[in-house]
């Protein structure tokens, strides 16, 4: 039987203290300024003031109390033993007969996600409505939930989507929750609900496909269910919903930079590099690719956020002497100079801090520590992996390389950056896995989509929530041109929100479309839970 221990467990604490934690190099948590954003769930912290009490008045452990579960290293070979998988839980809202609400934030250290135990999120809203227990489970190979003391290629052998799915099953069927009667709340004894967002939203969908009847209900927000190698569609919702004048000028500047960088005119090339203080970068795809950062800031927006770096960037381009440009923008000449001024005067320092431009934005030095650091709690490295079998010769199972749009389609980012740019990074980070290939590794997304049904998932009791303004929309069931139908057994809803906006309760206060999605989700899940009957699992 799996064993739990509180945070004082000596052996685990020693491991945590011994671990060399990889530090993010950019303010948004990435290892490097020219590595794309991950499909991540926004962190939500739990309230710190006041005690946590159950519905009968019992004082409970704080939300940030860490528990440990003995998870199997390899679900195909249990003899390899177990590792300590962290989780957080509370039965603050529980009533006998209520559901168990399980959530994993996916590709991140789960410590900052304790708010998902509370009604600050849809998880807590569901628990509050149905009298449930809430759990946050750290994904294998993220944070401090690691089978081995490093993230070497050898250690990452068991970091696969299928192992992560099997983790959810083994946890649900084996865990003894730290609460009265917590040893009698397995599937079959209590209804379980699985919740996820972004990648973990996709994992939620994959689990419902792969483990039918394990979870009575599931909620998948901004779920990137379709794995795509050349994910230029990341920038489509941004282009569609950003201020028109800003979009026009960004497109004009990028088209000009691409034309100059492919012209061979050394004087003009050097002039643009100097404008952005990137003269030290020798590879032009690094220079042009770095400007994706201003567009990536869109992912940090939410209905309840006030402004943000993205709109600060657009204001820098479009407001001149207190006057905003019309829908066509100010044009190339002003926009190029304004972008460069904004980049050099404040944005670069905000992005890279004290790092020089080659260290922060150059990607061609295979000896940089971003490629060679194998310490645990390195989410960027773990995300770059995700392989099911080294024989696949793929960097990962999902792709999602964020590049320029095809010729003939408007683009906000350079076309100099294409999938080989990111695939090369895979060979730097995992040389021992790929050095013998003789070619760049290409993610085997077809195999992932076939195994877990991608866009074509059809399973009962699975609620999908998406946002029109989500940059990950084109990998979800709300992608342009897909026209998937919502059904009572698999509802498909969409708000005017951004990435995973419907997971966060405050977003519903300011956006009625987010509120409508949350209300539909609560109603659907309540109905499915009402159908549950005890069984032998």
Catalytic site residues? Answer: 198, 470
| Closest by Cα among 392, 328, 333, 365 to 157 | 392
**Pair type for strands 67-72 and 100-103:** unpaired
Q: What's the start-to-end Cα distance of the chain, in Å?
A: 16
In three-state secondary structure terms, 416 is coil
Query: Is residue 413 within 8 Å of 254, Cβ to Cβ?
Result: yes
Whole-Å CA distances, 297 to 163, 311, 355, 465: 32, 9, 20, 22
Q: What is the DSSP string of 259-323?
A: HHHTTT-HHHHHHHHHHTT-TT---HHHHHHHTHHHHHGGGG--TT--S-HHHHHHHHHHEETTE
Tell me which H or E stretch contains 165. Answer: helix 161-174
List CB contacts of 479: < 8 A, sequence separation 6 or more. 226, 233, 455, 473
Residues 29, 35, 38: CA angle, nearest 5 degrees: 55
Query: Is residue 44 within 8 Å of 104, Cβ to Cβ?
Result: no
In three-state secondary structure terms, 83 is strand
List CB contacts of 58: < 8 A, sequence separation 6 or more. none
In three-state secondary structure terms, 479 is coil
- Separation CA 471–CA 475 (nearest Å): 9
| Closest by Cα among 514, 535, 536, 517 to 525 | 517
In three-state secondary structure terms, 241 is helix
| Closest by Cα among 344, 317, 314 to 332 | 317
| Closest by Cα among 307, 462, 443, 379 to 151 | 379
- Residue 458 CB neighbour total at 10 angstroms: 11
- Separation CA 227–CA 111 (nearest Å): 27
């Amino acid at each position: 039987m799996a064993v739990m221990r509180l945070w004082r467990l000596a052996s685990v604490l020693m491991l945590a203290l011994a671990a060399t934690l990889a530090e993010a190099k950019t303010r948004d948590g990435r290892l490097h300024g020219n590595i794309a954003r991950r499909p991540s769930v926004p962190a939500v912290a739990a309230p710190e003031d006041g005690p946590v009490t159950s519905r009968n008045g019992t004082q409970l452990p704080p939300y940030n109390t860490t528990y440990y579960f003995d998870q199997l290293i390899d679900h195909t070979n249990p003899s390899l033993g177990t590792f300590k998988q962290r989780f957080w839980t509370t039965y603050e809202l529980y009533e006998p007969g209520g559901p168990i609400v399980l959530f994993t934030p996916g590709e991140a250290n789960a410590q900052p996600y304790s708010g998902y135990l509370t009604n600050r999120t849809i998880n807590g809203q569901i628990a509050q409505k149905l009298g449930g227990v809430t759990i946050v489970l750290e994904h294998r190979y993220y944070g401090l939930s690691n089978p081995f003391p490093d993230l070497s290629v050898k250690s990452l052998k068991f970091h696969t989507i299928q192992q992560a799915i099997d983790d959810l099953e083994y946890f649900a069927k084996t865990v003894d929750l730290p609460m009265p009667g917590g040893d009698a709340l397995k599937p079959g004894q209590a209804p379980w609900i699985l919740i996820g967002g972004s990648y973990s939203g996709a994992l939620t969908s994959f689990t419902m496909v792969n483990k039918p009847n394990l979870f009575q209900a599931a909620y998948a927000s901004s779920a990137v269910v379709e794995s795509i190698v050349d994910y230029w569609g990341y920038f489509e919702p941004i282009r569609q919903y950003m201020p028109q004048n800003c979009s026009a000028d960004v497109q004009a500047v990028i088209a000009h930079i691409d034309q100059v960088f492919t012209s061979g005119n050394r004087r003009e090339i050097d002039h643009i590099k100097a404008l952005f203080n990137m003269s030290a970068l020798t590879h032009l795809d690094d220079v042009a690719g770095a400007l994706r950062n201003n567009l990536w800031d869109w992912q940090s927006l939410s209905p309840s956020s006030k402004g943000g770096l993205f709109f600060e960037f657009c204001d820098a381009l479009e407001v001149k002497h207190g006057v905003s440009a019309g829908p066509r923008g100010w044009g190339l000449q002003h926009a190029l100079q304004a972008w460069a001024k904004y980049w050099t005067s404040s944005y670069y320092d905000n992005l890279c801090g004290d790092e020089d431009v080659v260290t922060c934005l150059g990607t061609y030095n295979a000896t940089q520590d971003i490629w060679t650091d194998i310490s645990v709690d390195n989410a960027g490295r773990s995300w770059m992996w995700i392989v099911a079998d080294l024989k696949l010769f793929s960097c990962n199972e999902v792709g999602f390389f964020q590049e320029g749009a095809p010729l003939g389609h408007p683009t906000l980012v350079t076309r100099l950056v294409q999938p080989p740019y990111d695939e090369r990074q895979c060979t730097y980070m995992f040389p021992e896995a790929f050095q013998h290939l003789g070619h760049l590794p290409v993610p085997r997304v077809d195999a992932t989509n076939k195994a877990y049904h991608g866009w074509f998932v059809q399973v009962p009791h699975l609620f999908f929530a998406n946002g029109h303004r989500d940059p990950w929309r084109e990998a979800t069931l709300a992608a342009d041109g897909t026209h998937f139908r919502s059904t009572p057994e698999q509802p498909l809803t969409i708000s005017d929100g951004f990435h995973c906006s419907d997971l966060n309760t405050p977003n519903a206060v300011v956006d009625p479309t987010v509120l409508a999605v949350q209300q539909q989700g609560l109603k659907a899940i309540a109905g499915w839970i009402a159908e549950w009957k005890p069984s032998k699992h």
